[in-house]
Structure 1
Amino acid sequence: MDRESRTLTRQLADLGLTPEVVLAMRADLARVAEQTVDVIRTEVPDYADPFRGEMGRSIEGAVQLALDGFLSTVSGDTTGGSTSVERVAEAAYALGRGEARSGRSMDALLSAYRVGARVAWRDMSDAGVRAGLPAATVARFAELVFAYIDELSASSAAGHADELATSGRVRQRYLERLTQGLLRGAAADVLQAAAERADWKPPPALTAVVLRDERARRVLAQVDDGTLQPAEQVPGLEDRPDLTVLLVPVGSGRARAGLLRRLHGSGAVVGPSRPWHEVRSSHERALRVVALGLTEQSGAPVDTEAHLADLVLNADAQARADLRLQVLAPLEELRPAAAAKLKE
């Protein structure tokens, strides 16, 4: 238990409620828990459906456990109360993680805590007053109820944040595997399965954009959120650690023209649009343009489609050299001066 929890436990124990008051409050816990869940369902829309049926009954049990832990501590049972507060805080932490996995925001959970604190305070204080709780103690009791709920909400917030961080790292690993599979030309069924695991919706087409690594962040802010970027080694760029590639969900026509405009000043090399699972060919073409040095000094993007002739002519430099020798071979029988003139 951390220092704040120990401090709260001491404050709760110091309240010194009589056994009669605690017994009266505890006898009403099941009703208070049920009422709390009903009000949360009404006032917090995100929980209107999830808190129905079996889930609702489970939450009622959790609320009752939390309030019972509170009463165990205020009754002066510091040993049992300390254990109970720890147990409830752990349950609140687990609740926060579960809510993150369910896709609900922390705002919704905090709203539920606020509503729950209000209802619990109202109903428990009513029971206490009926059992003879002094007016001076009621105010202190209210303060500690809200402090207790604040502590539980902080535990849930920590669990929510930890789950988002963990799930974010897991998803990043899946996205990396997908990206590497796309760049290395994995089979379509393998890529489809990888996309599903990464929770990435495949677009109709992808376009490979090769650019300097330090310019990638600015470009990412201007393109589709579904754009992929490898975090590990980029295939084909082993000797160019200064470069990276973005796989941008962009097709041909106007969408491609818009992409080229957004890339102005980036010096990027833009491959052709390809069906998403065939983007390796777009990446490879962009790499060939980079290798040929067909880049713009002005920083304007280079459209590989504007350099198709260069790519064809330089597709196999050795074959071109061999063809030249083959074509010029008959000239070797002529005098050097005549042969040189004809070669020109």
Structure 2
Amino acid sequence: MTSDPSAHEIELQEARVAAAARDGGRPWSEGWEPDVRQVEDDQNYWLLTMVDLMTLLLTLFVLLAAYAYQHKAQNPVEPGSGAQTDQPANTDRPAASDATGETDPPEVVIGGNKPNPDARTASGDALIGERHERLFAEPGDAESHQEEPEGPAGDGDQTPAEERAEAQASALAGRFADMGDDVEVSTIADRVQLRVKDNILFPTGEAGLSGPGRALLARLADRLDGSDYRITVEGHTDNRPIQTWRYPSNWELSAARAAAVVRQLIDAGIRPGRLHAVGLADTQPIAGNDTATGRAENRRVDLVLELPATEDRR
């Protein structure tokens, strides 16, 4: 009695047939050996890729060369005209060098076509100054032309309004000539400055006016009345910090003192619109702060009197 093949034997037989088909039809029972030629062919496949890549690169170079040749053929360069057209692009460095040579101080000619023979050995700043001197010195009457304005023209720089303002300032300064050593009077252009030391106006470290200080400001107000000068009251201190609960710094102290003077002048009859107060602390010393004398000079109140601007003085 013949038994049917088992499922395992059937699968084994099918595997042998498939292996034989892969091995070129040889029966599986003959043993399997790798095909050496097929393996060598598989190992040489990279050569095909390399050849394809080289071919593509060569094609690209040929196309670029052809495009360049075609572009050159379509834009021919005529003798003479084309050379001058391309010359600025081909001579960038010489052009820049020429430009540098023209702007270099030894090559600059400001006063005409006569360069200075010693210019190449002098520094740039000295040459520029020398060329400016030659600019005005070369004409025969240059010196007389320049010196003439220094005399009469120097006085002519001022307008009649400015001259009147200076005259008014000088006249106003004369009103304070009898103030003695308590007030230092100075005139600058159309301004008058009245300088008062702080020990005359205030006790040490305080912004409340003393009795003599109030009397002095009353005398000043009498002389300021009737004028149109704007009055700026500037408070100044030395550089020593104060650091009190009322005045944390010299800024507060100087501003408070200036405000106190302004209030006193208003009480004495000066129109408030003419006044304003400025606290400057120790930012504008007039003497050194390393000595007691210098610090005393820096502690002061300045009253700067200035005429209001008018149309003919603007």
TM range (shorter): under 0.3
| Structure ID, larger Rg | 2
TM normalised by structure 1 equals: 0.18
TM normalised by structure 2 equals: 0.19
